[in-house]
Amino acid sequence: MKITNPLIQVFRRLTQVSVILLVFGLIVLSLYGHYRESYAFDNLTIHTNPLMQWILSNIDSIVSKLDDPEILLDNFKGNLWSMRLFGLGISDPLAFLETMFSSKKIYLPLLLSILIPLIVTLIKGRVFCSWICPGYVLFELNGKLSRFFGFKHAAHSPLYKNKYIILIIGLIFAFITSIPLFPMIYPPALLSRLAHAWIFGTPLKSMMIFILIILSIEFFVYNRWWCRTMCPGGALYGLLGKKRLLKVKLDKSLCTECGICKKVCEQGLYPVTESEGIECDNCGVCIKHCQTKALFFELF
Amino acid sequence: MNIERRKFLKGMAALSIPFFSAHLLFGNEQNTYPVTALKQTTNKTRIIRPPGAVDEAAFNAGCTRCGLCQDACEIGAIQYYTEADGLLYQTPYIDPAKKACNLCFKSSSMKCTTVCPTGVLKKTYFEDMEKVRMATVELFPDRCLAHKAKYIRNEQRMLTSLDRSYKETTEIYERRGPCGKCYDFCPLRERAITLEPGSLLAPIIHPEHCIGCGLCEEACRQVLRGIPAISMVSTRGVK
């Protein structure tokens, strides 16, 4: 089954936006739960800005009509590192791996909670990066801004195997010292916590500095430096999706070797030769830009 | 990497936009969480973990720093260590000086233990509340209002028996009402805190029954508005 529909990019953007809205929505719902539990709803003007006040009063008007609001508030919680949707735990596979190595134990509920992302990754490959991760959106926008201001990065960083080394070193470090490092450097976890800290008004200096360092390096030196060469989560998803069923494939009879796909590829690959390897994250940008429709998604 | 000066300056100007907007958005470093906390100093150097926590080494190793327990704790008792606290970064703690744990008495199980994905907070039902050990309790009778009242009344009795004159302070205590707030707020009344018989509600503590929720400390802080007479002592050491 060939998929070359350019609407795929629209779907990708919609998914990214809805994931960001979901992350913020869960945080705001949690904040509403805090106010509700503390009977502090009348004091909202003291603590929050007018926009948040408006959002919270809308949530209040909806929730107060429900029969049992506790069910809504208890079953929707969390962030992209580990969340509860409909009372069902969903965690990042990296969180499971990290906790397994640092605590030297396998905890069954955590293993069950990674099943959904694991199955999606085994079928569709590294789509968590390109379709869900809010860090990817931020770095993509940063790269576009950088190119808009005239930084034409000549080449992507060649050290793309770094991320596997970082994954292995991080896991060995967690095993020896029992300190989980990944939640402090992994952008989806970090950005979710940053959004949480921003809305809840807790201190968050170091997290912000780390993200700003990545943004500056990507702005000036290497385009998409973090995702391509550093991210341990991307490495794990790449390895899990090695035998994926959904792949970007090439129809050689149609390819004119114009090189457009190499220019537009976010991961700095040449899709004509490298699209079936573990570095490809199935974002589908090359398919959209291919003039002769030589590149296409194929399931199975 | 070959950057012209003009381009570099242009880029710096462009980058200053997100930095500046980030400063405007996130610049507020004041910790305003939880919103309902008393305006008092915190004491996060004593390590008090949420209910059902495993021992300290296993907790630090097993906690995946996801932040679900803070979301679940809607009264705002659970807070997080920040980057200034070193290796405890992003692990949860409870500070009764700001907000004490109420053990989720409205629901069947403690919410933080229900949502914890890693099992470092073992699932605890409200019926099993007595098995929780978050901290132990410590009483300073010299600061306690009820103990003070007891001393003064004993003094007056002694003076009366000696037929000496005294100021009628018992009346003041009876008019204002005795304290006993720690007894009122204790979820294990008559086990962790009992009242001294024949006194003006002077508490006696029993640390072997105490679960360490800190509700007595929170209540005592509201009465004394300063250093409380009854407070929690960490069983996991101090930071």
CA separation for the pair B50, B69 (Å, rounded): 9
The predicted structure's pLDDT at residue A23 = 93
**Domain boundaries, given as residue ranges, for chain A:** 14-78, 80-244, 245-300
Q: How far is CA A50 from the centre of its chain?
A: 30
Most confident residue range from A2-11, A50-59, A137-146, B20-29: A137-146
Give A237→chain B minimum CA distance, Å: 19
Q: Which residue has the tokens 């860090």?
A: A135
Q: How confident is the model at residue A288 (pLDDT cuts 50, 70, 90)?
A: confident
The predicted structure's pLDDT at residue A22 = 93
Residues 224-283 on A with a CB inside 8 Å of B are: none
Residues 169-188 on A with a CB inside 8 Å of B are: 178-180, 183-184
Contact B62 A105 (CB under 8 A): yes
The predicted structure's pLDDT at residue B29 = 55
Contact B68 A77 (CB under 8 A): yes
3-state secondary structure of B231: strand
- Per-residue pLDDT averaged across A137-141, rounded? 90
Residue B84 DSSP class: G
Q: Is B1 on the interface with A (CB under 8 A)?
A: yes
The predicted structure's pLDDT at residue A249 = 83
The predicted structure's pLDDT at residue A96 = 92
What is the percentage of chain A residues whose pLDDT exceeds 70?
94
Contact A99 B64 (CB under 8 A): yes
Residues 134-153 on A with a CB inside 8 Å of B are: 142, 145-146, 149-151
User: Of the given ranges (A66-75, A157-166, A204-213, B171-180), which has the lowest mean pLDDT?
Assistant: B171-180
Please name every residue paired with A89 in a beta bridge, in sequence order, or none if there are none.
A84
- pLDDT of A159 higher than 90: no
Contact A78 B64 (CB under 8 A): no
Q: Is B38 on the interface with A (CB under 8 A)?
A: no
- pLDDT of A199 higher than 90: no
Most confident residue range from A161-165, A221-225, A260-264, B2-6: A161-165
What's the pLDDT tens digit per position in A242-278? 888 888 888 888 888 888 888 888 887 887 787 788 8
CA separation for the pair B2, B102 (Å, rounded): 60
Which of B59, B65, B80 has the most A C-beta neighbours within 10 Å, making it the best mutation to test the interface with A? Answer: B65
Contact B62 A35 (CB under 8 A): no
What is the percentage of chain A residues whose pLDDT exceeds 90?
21
The predicted structure's pLDDT at residue A207 = 77
Contact B29 A203 (CB under 8 A): yes
Q: How confident is the model at residue A118 (pLDDT cuts 50, 70, 90)?
A: very high
Residues 105-134 on B with a CB inside 8 Å of A are: 107, 111, 114-115, 117-120
Point out the residue among A43, A70, A110 whose CB comes nearest to the CB of B117.
Answer: A110
- Nearest CA to A35 out of A21, A22, A52 is that of A52
Contact B11 A151 (CB under 8 A): yes
- pLDDT of A232 higher than 70: yes
Distances (CA, A) of B50 to A37, A121, A157, A228, B214: 18, 34, 44, 39, 11
pTM above 0.80, yes or no: yes
Residue B90: its chain A contacts at CB < 8 A?
Answer: 183-184, 193
The predicted structure's pLDDT at residue A172 = 93
CA separation for the pair A283, A162 (Å, rounded): 21
Per-10-residue mean pLDDT, chain B, length 239: 69 73 63 58 77 89 89 87 82 88 87 90 89 90 85 80 66 67 89 85 89 90 84 83
Residue A205: its chain B contacts at CB < 8 A?
Answer: 29, 82-83
Burial class (CB in 10 A: 0-12, 13-18, 19+), A26: buried
Q: Is the dihedral of CA B118, B121, B126, B131 positive or negative?
A: positive
Residue B135 main-chain phi, psi, to 5 deg: -165, 180
Residue B68: its chain A contacts at CB < 8 A?
Answer: 77-78, 82-84
Nearest CA in chain B to A203: B29
The predicted structure's pLDDT at residue B28 = 55
Per CATH, the number for A245-300 is: 3.30.70.20
Beta carbons within 10 angstroms of residue B167's beta carbon: 10
Q: Is A209 on the interface with B (CB under 8 A)?
A: no
ipTM above 0.90 for this complex: no
- Nearest CA to A283 out of A1, A70, A10 is that of A10
Contact A198 B66 (CB under 8 A): no
The predicted structure's pLDDT at residue B166 = 61
Q: How confident is the model at residue A117 (pLDDT cuts 50, 70, 90)?
A: very high
Q: Is the dihedral of CA B222, B226, B228, B233 positive or negative?
A: positive
What's the pLDDT tens digit per position in A59-105? 888 888 887 878 888 888 888 999 998 888 899 999 999 999 998 88
